[in-house]
Structure 1
Amino acid sequence: MHGGDPNTGEVMARLYHDGRFVAESRVPARFPVEGGAIDVRTSEAGMRRCAFVADDGTEHQLVPDPASAEGRRMRFAREHPGASRAIGGVSIVFLIIGVGLNLLQITEPISRIPPIADTLGTFESPVILPLWLNIALGLVAALGAVERALRMRYHWLLDSGAGT
């Protein structure tokens, strides 16, 4: 499901029951099942939501396939809870640092656009990072986003805002 079709770019969700293929839909997907529906959404980094929504509105997060990346991450969290929390905390810290530094650095060139500069003035970023450090922070932030996607955790500010 992750990454989408190489030709069309469409991300598809597939529903299996007892190991047999049942249905397929573009994400966001909602598969009607007995007693409710299965709701599937992705973000740019991976799984955003996969839950059973009962007819009465109650929701239950579904357990991923143990062989999937999400299933392996869940097993790691179950077997090593302390290490899992530490990795999760580090991923959040790097995402916040990455978002903060990117906002500072992107504000400077945007503030130099003549109508914005005339109205609000220009902004000079207090942080100027070398290219190699920008690339490294970008990669670490992307790894943090992937780690959060594997845990099926999503926050609109930290994780990719353009998720489906």
Structure 2
Amino acid sequence: MFTEYRRRRQVAKVKPGDGSPVPEYRCWQLFSRSLFVLELPDGELGQHVYEVDVRHGADSTSRRSPVSFYRDGAQVGRATLPAAFPVPGGVIEVAVGRYGLRRMHFLADDGTVRALRPHPRSTEGLRARFGRRFPRTSAVVGAVAVAVVLAGLALSGMIALEAITRVPVVAAHVGVVTAPIHLDGWAEVAVTLATALAATERALTLRSRWLVGGSPPV
């Protein structure tokens, strides 16, 4: 029930588009823009091509909307994130997290879920191409990224728990929990950077959501 209510709110906040065409994807937009495509049938009329254009770092005060929605090359909607755009047979859900996209999926009325196809020149598209050309290497990279993220989260959790239990009121009731590992300044920075890179790698494959909170990947 809560999920359906949240989805209705996200659909309700979508504003009409201005009919402008999809801007061409430029190479310098690798880290500031994500562009995804989905083709859907529309009864006997053939099919429509839907595109979702996400501008990372944009907000309601920016010149461009955080996310724009296009049908057959013309802008038909825009919104802040997270957002849900109604399409024939379901909705397209879009959400971002700290390290990139958390969700870019078509949720059909029958409950099936399908990821959208990234633009081939985007970071997500380049990562997908790498996965197709080198599937074994890609699987190893993904496994290492998951291990790094989990290790980083575990270490951060232990350090946070120790800090909390050192508060006198808490320590008086549960004692002090000492983290088994303590890092020097440079090591802490290295672990933080490695965790961020690993989480970003997972975000490029749309498989970061369950690592940073949320439902398992689909």
TM tier relative to shorter chain: 0.7 to 0.9
TM-score scaled by length of structure 2 = 0.66
Q: Over residues 66-120 of structure 1, what are the superposed CA-to-partner deviations in whole Å (9 max), with x where a residue is unaligned?
A: 1211111111111111111111111111111111111222222211111101110
Match of 1:26 among 60, 67, 80: 80
Amino acid at match of 2:102: R
Q: CA RMSD in A?
A: 2.0
Q: CA deviation at 1:7?
A: 5.5
- SS state at 2:117 partner: coil
Number of residues paired by the alignment?
Answer: 158
Distance 1:118 1:23 in 2: 56
Distance 1:35 1:126 in 2: 52
Match of 1:114 among 168, 171, 181: 168
Distance 2:187 2:60 in 1: 31
- Give the gaps of 5 or more residues in structure 1: none
Q: Over residues 40-74 of structure 1, what are the superposed CA-to-partner deviations in whole Å (9 max), with x where a residue is unaligned?
A: 11111111111112233322111111121111111
Distance 1:19 1:141 in 2: 37
TM-score scaled by length of structure 1 = 0.86
2:42 corresponding residue in structure 1: none
1:80 corresponding residue in structure 2: 134
Amino acid at match of 1:97: A
Instruction: Give me the identity figure in percent.
Output: 40
Amino acid at match of 1:39: E
- Give the gaps of 5 or more residues in structure 2: 1-54
The answer as to 2:68 corresponding to 1:5 is no
